[in-house]
A and B are shown apart, each in its own frame.
Chain A
Amino acid sequence: MTMPELMYREALNQALAEEMERDANVFLIGEEVGRYNGAFKVSQGLLDRFGSARIIDAPISELGFTGMSVGAAMVGLRPVVEMMTWNFAILAMDQIVNNAAKLRHMSGGQLRCPIVFRGPGGAGGRLSSQHSQALEANYAHFPGLKVIAPATPADAKGMLKAAIRDENPVIMFEGERLYALKGEVPEGEHVVPLGKADVKREGTDVTIITWSRMYYFCMEAAEQLAKEGISAEVLDLRTLRPLDEEAILASVRKTNRVVIVEEGWALAGVGASVVDLIQSKAFDDLDAPVGRVTGLDVNMSYAANLENATQPDAPKIIDAVKKVLYREGA
């Protein structure tokens, strides 16, 4: 049986429509989500289908409409808040971190906050510093939140559906540069559980751990490495909080060598925590220090060559893999 091919944005659109159909408590709010059909067209056609009380064009008040949605979730609605991009959600961080993440705790278990905050993260194309940031590490830091970052259209659909059904605040990073990417997406009830990583490519010599857009560079690197006789396993974390410790450790025990690839900055990054996990729970299984490929420790430039140099890519990943394999004097 062949599955329909959908773009990443279409997969998200399908998830939203299906969940809104299933549960009238679900509504979508954000800048340009309604009549404009979404800044990245994720909400295409939803206003016509669900009306203006459920597909809400918000003013440019990130903190305001985020907090308002948290309040709606406190009394049982299930808001999906679209951030035009995560760069702008920095203005809303107080409401996400100080309210959504802590409501259940501060109320001693009286309240729940079933809400999804979603939108594109990571670098745009030639947009310079304020529009090109991978900010997932910021949110992965906070107890009370779940953080997800699917790479493929199928995962995007399945994880958004799971996020909307989750009783906790979920932060969903989509890839700004993934929206037009196509892949097979199961129709109808396709729910990918949160907190589960996925071995996207089996291998025996080294594990490459990644998520979101970097996944594609990792797959490209793995293909090239295969030609050189190096068998790389690609583990797509998909969820960054909670980390799927079992899947990470199982893969490390199998390949004994690890490279972690992250679009964001190295210091206090998600990868740093994965390294910590591996060295504290699987040190004896390691044949080499864990390698990391991250964005450079600088802000993003506009100039094409500088922008490219700032981000991880397949050649950098290949170098890192060879280093943990002690090959070619890397």
Chain B
Amino acid sequence: MASPYSKEQLLTMYRKMYLIRRFEERTGQQYTLGKIAGFCHLYIGQEAVAVGPNEAIRPDDYMLSAYRDHGQPLARGSDAGMVMAELFGRGTGYSKGKGGSMHIFDIEHHFYGGYGIVGGQIPLAAGMAFASRYRNEDRVTVCYFGDAAANQGSFHETLNMASKWKLPVIYICENNRYGMGTAIARTSAVPEIYKRASAYGMRGEPVDGMDCLKMYEAVKDAAAYCRAGKGPVLLEANTYRFRGHSVADPATYRSKQEVEEERKNDPIPKLRDYAIKNKLAVDSDFEAIDEEVKAQVDAAVKFADESPEPALEELWRDTIVEEGEQDVRPRERVLGVKVTNWPKYPSGQELKVTWDLEPREQAEQADKKAGLSR
């Protein structure tokens, strides 16, 4: 059977996964050199979970993540140099060096941040999806979180609301089997996270998170479901991180054998083999990507290294919005490019709210049936 994918699609996905891989390898190296500090969580092994979904949604759909958040913005199209500069704590980073590794934000590319509190971003995503419904836009929100985050109250509280109110949000649990050094099975009564969706009457599915195309298909389908107003979807991407929890973690809590086994599932050669087998690409295509990406990552490190630290006055900016103050557009600020797709929201005068979250007649009929008067 012929592949349903085009050469361009496959090479785009490959290129992005490969960029994330090389970027993260260099990140780990720069951390050991002392150029990057703080907690720094690498994404190596999980690339398919960021790239497949991103290709399945629109550029103006919303996305947000936890603290393992370098991969998703790169998949979205963020500037690698500015992400690296953020890791270096430089003024040219996306957040002017105020956020660091755990808080990459690129609103131009509709990436609404990485968050350092386990599970804290889960309700935010529902709120963004709520806003889409409120404004009658057919945008979806994709929200990433880890397997351990699924044990937070925020997860359960939010799934309940998202399902009840049919919010267009796709939750992607990146089940890499560990929350720091603790295997998920040791802390979870039901370690298959997708099953928890059924407790809230919502759709939940496991997906092979080591396969970019499987992730792509699952999210394509989920997004159509969300856009049709059918409600949220919980996807459990079964994946694996090849490195420790953070760069500083030697990951002695897992066996060498386990890691070796998982490395055989590497999503990057998997996609490459698929493309070659289906005669959609040849070795030289990948060699060209290899060279391009290496140069791109070299340039990113150089950019970060040569960038100045933020000015001290920056301490006093960006805490409170002063009257009339504009929002900062990072690429415009740093690279001088005109940013044109900054999100625009309708003013209160233009906006017509037509959504009925709890139709009045329905509520009144229910009351009547129950013999209640209001």
A residues adjacent to B (C-beta < 8 A): 22-27, 34-35, 51-54, 56-59, 61, 63-79, 94-95, 98-99, 103-112, 143-144, 146, 167-168
* Cα-based distance from A66 to B130 in the complex (angstroms): 13
Q: A109, B318: Cβ atoms under 8 Å?
A: yes
Contact residues in B for A78 (Cβ distance below 8 Å): 348
- Whether A107 contacts B103 in the complex (CB less than 8 A), given A71-B131, A75-B131, comes out as yes
- Whether A59 contacts B157 in the complex (CB less than 8 A), given A74-B112, A108-B96, comes out as yes
- Whether A66 contacts B123 in the complex (CB less than 8 A), given A51-B353, A58-B161, A110-B95, comes out as yes
Q: B95, A106: Cβ atoms under 8 Å?
A: yes
5 closest Cβ contacts across the A-B interface?
A71-B127, A67-B123, A64-B157, A23-B348, A108-B95
* Cα-based distance from A318 to B241 in the complex (angstroms): 66
Look across to chain A and name the residue whose beta carbon is closest to the beta carbon of B364. A35
Look across to chain A and name the residue whose beta carbon is closest to the beta carbon of B155. A64
Q: A64, B105: Cβ atoms under 8 Å?
A: no
Contact residues in B for A27 (Cβ distance below 8 Å): 134
Look across to chain B and name the residue whose beta carbon is closest to the beta carbon of A68. B127
Q: B128, A35: Cβ atoms under 8 Å?
A: no
Is residue B53 contacting chain A, with contact meaning CB distance below 8 A?
Answer: no
Q: B348, A51: Cβ atoms under 8 Å?
A: no
Q: B130, A63: Cβ atoms under 8 Å?
A: no
- Whether A53 contacts B374 in the complex (CB less than 8 A), given A68-B127, A106-B103, A168-B321, comes out as no
Is residue B88 contacting chain A, with contact meaning CB distance below 8 A?
Answer: no
Q: B107, A73: Cβ atoms under 8 Å?
A: no
Interface residues on B, range: 35 or more
Q: B127, A74: Cβ atoms under 8 Å?
A: yes
* Cα-based distance from A61 to B160 in the complex (angstroms): 9
* Cα-based distance from A168 to B127 in the complex (angstroms): 17
Contact residues in A for B77 (Cβ distance below 8 Å): none
Q: A56, B357: Cβ atoms under 8 Å?
A: yes
7 contacts between A and B (CB under 8 A): A66-B123, A68-B126, A68-B130, A75-B132, A104-B320, A108-B93, A167-B321
Q: A59, B98: Cβ atoms under 8 Å?
A: no
Q: A106, B99: Cβ atoms under 8 Å?
A: yes
Q: A105, B123: Cβ atoms under 8 Å?
A: no
Q: A25, B348: Cβ atoms under 8 Å?
A: yes
Q: A63, B153: Cβ atoms under 8 Å?
A: yes
Other 6 A-B pairs with CB < 8 A, given A23-B347, A104-B318, A144-B319: A71-B127, A71-B128, A75-B131, A98-B116, A99-B115, A107-B105
* Cα-based distance from A67 to B154 in the complex (angstroms): 8
- Whether A108 contacts B328 in the complex (CB less than 8 A), given A67-B154, A69-B127, A76-B345, comes out as yes
Q: B128, A61: Cβ atoms under 8 Å?
A: no
Contact residues in A for B158 (Cβ distance below 8 Å): 61, 64, 67-68
- Whether A109 contacts B96 in the complex (CB less than 8 A), given A24-B348, A25-B351, A63-B154, comes out as yes
Is residue B358 contacting chain A, with contact meaning CB distance below 8 A?
Answer: yes
* Cα-based distance from A70 to B343 in the complex (angstroms): 17
- Whether A110 contacts B127 in the complex (CB less than 8 A), given A63-B154, A64-B157, A64-B160, comes out as no
Within 8 A of A (CB), among B91-105: 93-99, 103, 105
Q: A59, B124: Cβ atoms under 8 Å?
A: no
Taken residue by residue from 305 to 324, chain B's Cβ proximity to chain A (1 for < 8 Å, 0 otherwise) reads as 00000000000011111010
Q: A70, B359: Cβ atoms under 8 Å?
A: no
Q: B327, A106: Cβ atoms under 8 Å?
A: no
Contact residues in A for B93 (Cβ distance below 8 Å): 108
Contact residues in A for B323 (Cβ distance below 8 Å): 167
Within the complex, the shortest CB–CB distance from A106 to chain B, in Å, comes to: 4
Is residue B113 contacting chain A, with contact meaning CB distance below 8 A?
Answer: yes
- Whether A112 contacts B126 in the complex (CB less than 8 A), given A64-B157, A64-B161, A106-B103, comes out as no
* Cα-based distance from A202 to B38 in the complex (angstroms): 53
Is residue B279 contacting chain A, with contact meaning CB distance below 8 A?
Answer: no
Contact residues in B for A168 (Cβ distance below 8 Å): 320-321
Contact residues in A for B360 (Cβ distance below 8 Å): 51-52
Is residue B125 contacting chain A, with contact meaning CB distance below 8 A?
Answer: yes
Q: B94, A108: Cβ atoms under 8 Å?
A: yes
